[in-house]
Amino acid sequence: MKRHLRVCSAAVFLVMALLLSLWLPGTTATADAAVTAPAAPKVVGSASTSIVTLKWNKVSGAAGYEIFKYSSDKKFHWFKTLGPNTTTLKLSGKNDLTYYYKVRSYKLSGSKKVYSSFSSIIKVKTAPSVYPVITSTSRDKKDSGIVRWRLSSYADGYEVFRSTSKNGTYKKIATIGSTSINAVRDKQLAANTSYYYKVRAYSKNSTSVAYGNFGGTKTMNKYTAPAKVSSSSTTASNNRRLVVVGDSRVLYMSQWCRSSRVSYIAKSGIGLSWLSSTAIQNQILSSLDSKTDLFIWIGTNDYDYYARYASLYSQMVPRYRAKGARVFLVGLGPFLNGADGYGGSNSDLVRFNTYLKNAAAALGSGVYYTDVYGYLGKTGFSFLPSDRVHYSQATTQTVFNYLLSVSSK
């Protein structure tokens, strides 16, 4: 019996020694510790329409790769594990979205994984879903014309294509690398040829571009020379002076749109209190006579005061008319992507403009409402870079030309 116990004790001791050898320093467990982490993969991302593609280099000694995806909880989560020979992954996404990924490689140490550090975060934008709508084409010269389109809120830029037939071969004539430009002048036209245009939007990635689909085509007709008008048939209204009053939009106009017929009363960052001040009203009144058209384009800074503006005009416009001037109450034009970034939206501007239109109608003969909002909706418009409120020089010139045309009627 004693001998049997000694044999059992020896067996237990050998088993315990074997188990200890698996984790004590200097034992066979050092084979696990000797596995070094693999290198982090170098990853690039691209998109084609809504398909996202990730590519990375094959890491020496790696047993596989793990892909992590950024989620709505603003954290990266494990998404997929791939084998050692896979270095490309295609994923179905959705248009108008930006995806973020990161990748790490790993080696095996027994049953455990030894990970590399993560790759840099890969940002991939899919293509815009909105098809750019060409709002207008204007053939104003023999050899050139202007194409305008509606902006997409998601696009990083646009490509403009031209053909001499609707179903013919289209050639790219311009790449617009801007989110705020929605017009291009085509300078290589033949006077007796009509042209067809189409536009597509794109999203830009670090190593690729994701193109959206083309919008519909629009024609630019052959050049037609403007009719000649004799000096004797020119009406007096064509030579009327313009006084344009307003805030920063008008201030930009005063810098970019110069004419001997036009003078400006403008200041940045102001509104109703500035317009209603005695000093400004006296300045306006002193500039008016029977050959003057007064355009008041103000309210962008305090569009909630529509009723107060209407009340001010009911008091002051009769005084302007007593000077013999025609008065044009100019509607506010739209914001970039429909919002000003401070809680205001295009619906606020429409409400302001409705009050303005009603005020003009109530004030009777010689007072008019000028619909810049509707006019820009037809012609298209663009903004200064990173600006939701102030129009680009091209759009400001469009508004200026519109005011001139209204004055000439």
Residue 59 domain-assigned? Answer: yes
High-pLDDT (> 90) share of the chain, %: 69
Whether residue 255 lies inside any domain: the answer is yes
Same domain, 274 and 191: no
- Domain enclosing residue 48, as ranges: 38-125
Provide the CATH number for the domain around residue 210: 2.60.40.10
Q: Residue 147: pLDDT band by 50, 70, 90 thresholds?
A: very high
The band of 218, judged by pLDDT with boundaries at 50, 70 and 90, is: very high
Q: What is the mean pLDDT of residues 351-361?
A: 94
Is the pLDDT assigned to residue 207 strictly greater than 80? yes
Specify the pLDDT at position 236.
41
Mean pLDDT calculated for residue range 21-42:
64
Residue 76 in this model has a pLDDT that exceeds 50: yes
208 and 320 together in one domain: no
Q: What is the pLDDT of residue 71?
A: 95
Given strand 145-149, what is the order of strands in its sheet? Answer: 134-138, 145-149, 183-186
Q: What pLDDT shows up at residue 33?
A: 54
Q: Are residues 276 and 305 located together in one domain of the fold?
A: yes
Residue 23 within a domain: no
Of 125, 158, 186, the domain-final residue: 125
DSSP state of 339: B
- Which whole number is the average pLDDT over 142-150? 89
Residue 334 resides in a domain: yes
Do 72 and 207 lie in one domain? The reply is: no
- Rounded Cα gap, residues 361 and 268, in angstroms: 29
Place 267 in a pLDDT band, splitting at 50, 70 and 90.
Answer: very high
CB–CB of 89/9 below 8 Å? no
Average the pLDDT over 278-304 and give the result. 96
- With respect to residue 3, please indicate whether it lies within any of the assigned structural domains: no
Of 185, 40, 194, 205, nearest in space to 125 by CA: 205
Kindly report whether the global pTM for this prediction surpasses the value 0.85.
no
Same domain for 399 and 284, yes or no, is: yes
- pLDDT of residue 24 exceeding 70, the answer is no
pLDDT band at 340 (very low <50, low <70, confident <90, very high): confident
pLDDT of residue 3: 44
Per the domain annotation, does 232 fall within a domain? no
| Whether residue 103 sits in one domain with residue 251 | no
Mean pLDDT of 169-173: 96
Which of 27-41, 207-221, 310-324 has the lowest average pLDDT? 27-41
Does residue 157 carry a pLDDT above 70?
yes
Considering the domain architecture, whether residues 281 and 386 belong to the same structural domain is answered as: yes
Question: Average pLDDT over the chain, rounded to whole?
Answer: 88
pLDDT at 234 over 70: no
In the predicted structure, residue 373 carries a pLDDT above the cut 60: yes
Please report, for the domain that includes residue 259, its CATH number. Answer: 3.40.50.1110
**362: Cα within 13 Å, side-chain hemisphere:** 12
What is the rounded distance in angstroms from the CA atom of residue 201 to the CA atom of residue 348? Answer: 29
Per-residue pLDDT, 151? 84
Which pLDDT tens digit goes with each residue over 47-69? 999 999 999 999 999 999 999 99
Mean local confidence (pLDDT), 161-179: 94
Q: How far apart are CA 76 and CA 69, in angstroms?
A: 5
Alpha helices in 193-292 (DSSP H): 248-256, 272-276, 278-286
User: Taking 90 as the threshold, does the pLDDT of residue 37 lie above it?
Assistant: yes
Average pLDDT (205-234) is 76
Instruction: Evaluate if residue 365 carries a pLDDT over 80.
Output: yes
Residues 46 and 156 in one domain: no
pLDDT tens-digit map of 303-336:
999 999 999 999 999 999 999 999 999 999 999 8
pLDDT at 125 over 70: yes
Residue 233 has pLDDT above 60, yes or no: no
Look at residue 95 and tell me if it is in a domain. Answer: yes
Predicted pLDDT at 16: 52
Domain boundary (75, 107, 125) is at 125
Please say if the pLDDT value at position 345 is more than 60: yes
Question: Are 138 and 71 in a shared domain?
Answer: no
- Which of 125, 158, 193 is the last residue in one of the domains? 125
Whether the per-residue pLDDT at 172 is higher than 50: the answer is: yes
For residue 343, the Cα-to-chain-centroid distance in whole angstroms is: 18
Structural domain tally of the chain?
A: 3
User: Of all residues in the chain, what percent carry a pLDDT higher than 70?
Assistant: 89
Alpha-carbon span 66 to 49, nearest angstrom = 25
In a domain, 26, yes or no: no
254 and 303 together in one domain: yes
pLDDT band at 197 (very low <50, low <70, confident <90, very high): very high
Strands (E), 93-237: 98-109, 112-115, 122-125, 134-138, 145-149, 157-163, 171-176, 183-186, 195-204, 209-211, 218-220
Residues 209 and 285 in one domain: no
Q: Does residue 144 have a pLDDT over 70? A: yes
* 188 and 140 assigned to the same domain: yes
- At 224 the pLDDT is 78
**What pLDDT, on a 0 to 100 scale, did the predictor assign at position 238?**
62
Contact of 243 with 324, CB cutoff 8 Å: no
